[in-house]
Amino acid sequence: MNVYTIGVGLIGGSFALDIQEHYSDAQIFGIDANESHLQEAKELGVIHHTASYEDLPNADVVIAAIPVDAAMEVIPKVLDLCNDNTLVFDVGSTKSKIAQVVKNHPKRRNFLATHPIAGTEFSGPKAALKGLYRNKTNIICEVEKTAFKLQERALEIFQKMGMRIRYMDVVSHDKHIAYVSHLSHISSFMLGKTVIEKEKNERDIFDMAGSGFESTVRLAKSSPAMWTPIFEQNKENVIETLEEYISNLETFKRLMQDGKFNEVYEEMHNTNHIKNILNGIQ
Amino acid sequence: MNVYTIGVGLIGGSFALDIQEHYSDAQIFGIDANESHLQEAKELGVIHHTASYEDLPNADVVIAAIPVDAAMEVIPKVLDLCNDNTLVFDVGSTKSKIAQVVKNHPKRRNFLATHPIAGTEFSGPKAALKGLYRNKTNIICEVEKTAFKLQERALEIFQKMGMRIRYMDVVSHDKHIAYVSHLSHISSFMLGKTVIEKEKNERDIFDMAGSGFESTVRLAKSSPAMWTPIFEQNKENVIETLEEYISNLETFKRLMQDGKFNEVYEEMHNTNHIKNILNGIQ
């Protein structure tokens, strides 16, 4: 099986490692705009060979693991180049825009829109992890638009990697993921910004930070190159979540200003059952 | 050494476990308003004996590990009861109010105001952890107001437990801790609230949540009984941090609304160096 991963960073590289593990015959080819990442991925054993777009007619599987803006241009080009039996899937955090772009492509049935809910705050080939996707959810959108035998090939790969599959329409995906993923990143980046701004004037503030602070700002280490186009493509949904979040923060602030600490207690108490909800998350 | 811990939960219980480890002669006595916690702490071996306030004249060390509102009443009472050679220290997340309360107490020199920057989102005796304080910072306020030989006793305990000591005035403590701790808790609680509110209408949203979401809402599992009085005692500082945080979120939202995604990129890029800052946090 010839597997081409376009993008050899955290996401594509982790797919490459798992496919090597589960398919002893798989040859993994890497394509990446960043030549040094490509060399690094080869040295780390993430990929077997470096490759270029001209090689794609030989592909059985193509994984597009690149920022969602780049995917808009790369995926139609990949579909143009691949053969009738190639499975092409993306892994982006937004799904409506890519669905529009491929909608009328003559090879639409070669494409599967996926979003594995997995990652870390790190990026690049060094960040690739074997087993990253084990027990994680992979959301598949518009599955009916993909050729059945290519759906089967994709599902076999995802199941060998230990992923749970959920099917969803692109509109619901983009709306829900804004809440449980995109908003978290903004809350974390802005928390980091607020504290860094303060620290400019007040030295050593970070000596006082503990593991709770570290946990809430962890996502502020994430790659702006990856996240900016996600926010751009999911602009309306993300703005909606931000407005609700800001409104909740304003309410909390007002309760404090008014000295209504019984209600401050209730605000926190009512959110405490997130404990049980989170138990379902790996 | 007779050590009395008032509050046998996460914080007091973890002190009890470490002191047992480092002082083989230590007898640990527990006092707690919650009788079932007290029994549980004894069964778990967190404390050796249950006790009551009348026993305090026998104490060499008293740890007040209770919510900061309860501490305002309990600590003066403990100082009334203890002997001239007893070290009494608190571990609360606010320091100005307790400093005021003990300011003119005849046994002020028996008291040491401390804030170990350590904890988890869990509470109760079961949450007590051996080694919780290892390599963590313990902030000591108004050290000059504590009798020197009692400072020495406290430092020996903290150093055996592996803590780093920082000295700070109470005003700076409360101002800085609002940024690196109190604000994180509110951002996390309100993020949890925003997503839970959405989930009421949109089923299964949490199936889509990944480890990033879990990290940012982890602190929303924290105890409202502990946190409400902290926000009340540190009201002005916390409101200031909330206003700066909301303002940064508003700016981010406006940049998105105006389609200024180069600036959205810059916002995130400028916060990315938190990576290096966080490397200093355990």
Of all residues in chain A, the percent with pLDDT exceeding 70 is: 97
Give the tens place of pLDDT for each residue, B86-105: 999 999 999 999 999 999 99
Residues B25 and B162 in one domain: yes
Give Cα A205 distance to the centre of its chain.
32
pLDDT for A282 equals 45
Residues A82 and A139 in one domain: yes
CB within 8 Å: B249 and A248 = no
The CATH number for A180's domain is 1.10.3660.10
Residue A6 and residue A28 in contact, taking contact as beta carbons nearer than 8 Å: no
Q: Hey, of A211, A239, A240, A279, which one would you mutate to test binding to chain B, going by the most B CBs within 10 A of its CB?
A: A211
- Low-confidence stretches of chain B (pLDDT beneath 50): 282
Over 70: is that where the pLDDT of A201 sits?
Answer: no
Confidence of residue A281 (pLDDT cuts 50, 70, 90): low
Residues A112 and A46 in one domain: yes
Give the tens place of pLDDT for each residue, A128-182: 999 999 999 999 999 999 999 999 999 999 999 999 999 999 999 999 999 999 9
Which residues on neighbouring strands pair with residue A89, listed in sequence order?
A: A63, A112
Residues B136 and B32 in one domain: yes
Q: What is the overall mean pLDDT for chain B?
A: 95
Residues B143 and B258 in one domain: no
Residues B26 and B47 in one domain: yes
- Which amino acid, one-letter code, is at B131? G
Residues B163 and B181 in one domain: no
Of all residues in chain A, the percent with pLDDT exceeding 90 is: 88
Residue B165 and residue B140 in contact, taking contact as beta carbons nearer than 8 Å: yes
- Chain B contact set for A93 (CB, 8 A): none
**Which residue, among A42, A201, A266, has the nearest Cα to B244 in the 3D structure?**
A201
Q: Hey, of A121, A182, A184, A197, which one would you mutate to test binding to chain B, going by the most B CBs within 10 A of its CB?
A: A184
Would an 8 Å CB–CB cutoff place A127 in contact with chain B? no
Q: Which domain holds residue B138?
A: 2-168
CB within 8 Å: A206 and B180 = yes
Residue A169 and residue A142 in contact, taking contact as beta carbons nearer than 8 Å: yes
Residue A168 and residue A141 in contact, taking contact as beta carbons nearer than 8 Å: yes
The CATH number for A36's domain is 3.40.50.720
Q: What is the ipTM of this complex?
A: 0.92
Q: What is the overall mean pLDDT for chain A?
A: 95
Q: Which residues of B79-94 are buried (b: 16+ CB within 10 A; e: fewer)?
A: bebbeeebbbbbbbbb
Count of structural domains within chain B:
2
pLDDT for B202 equals 60
3-state helix, strand, coil in chain B (%, to 5): 60, 15, 30
- Chain B contact set for A266 (CB, 8 A): 224
Dist. CA A242–CA A234, nearest whole Å = 12
Dist. CA A3–CA B162, nearest whole Å = 51
CB within 8 Å: A212 and B219 = yes
Give the tens place of pLDDT for each residue, A28-43: 999 999 999 999 999 9
Residues A223 and A96 in one domain: no
Residue at a domain's end among A168, A201, A235: A168
Would an 8 Å CB–CB cutoff place B171 in contact with chain A? no
Residue at a domain's end among B168, B186, B209: B168
Would an 8 Å CB–CB cutoff place A10 in contact with chain B? no
Confidence of residue A209 (pLDDT cuts 50, 70, 90): confident
Instruction: Return the structure tokens found at B108.
Output: 């002020």
CB within 8 Å: B215 and A216 = yes
pLDDT for B282 equals 45
Would an 8 Å CB–CB cutoff place B166 in contact with chain A? yes
Over 90: is that where the pLDDT of A277 sits?
Answer: no
- Listed by number, the residues of chain B in 61-120 with a beta carbon closer than 8 Å to a beta carbon of chain A are 117-120
Distance to chain B for A11, nearest Cα, Å: 14
Phi, psi of B61 (to 5 degrees): -135, 135
- Rounded alpha-carbon distances, angstroms, from residue A270 to A28, A148, B174: 49, 45, 27
Residue B109 and residue B85 in contact, taking contact as beta carbons nearer than 8 Å: no
Would an 8 Å CB–CB cutoff place B258 in contact with chain A? no
Residues A73 and A139 in one domain: yes
- Chain B contact set for A201 (CB, 8 A): none
Residue at a domain's end among A168, A201, A234: A168
Would an 8 Å CB–CB cutoff place A171 in contact with chain B? no
Residues B83 and B58 in one domain: yes
- Chain A contact set for B194 (CB, 8 A): 179, 183, 241, 244-245, 248
Residue A180 and residue A173 in contact, taking contact as beta carbons nearer than 8 Å: no
For A228, which of B217, B238, B261 is closest by C-beta distance? Answer: B261
Residues B147 and B27 in one domain: yes
pLDDT for A278 equals 75
Would an 8 Å CB–CB cutoff place B191 in contact with chain A? yes
Residues B189 and B89 in one domain: no
E-strand stretches of B121-262? 137-141, 164-168
Q: How many CB pairs under 8 A join A and B?
A: 302
For B268, which of A217, A224, A242 is closest by C-beta distance? Answer: A224
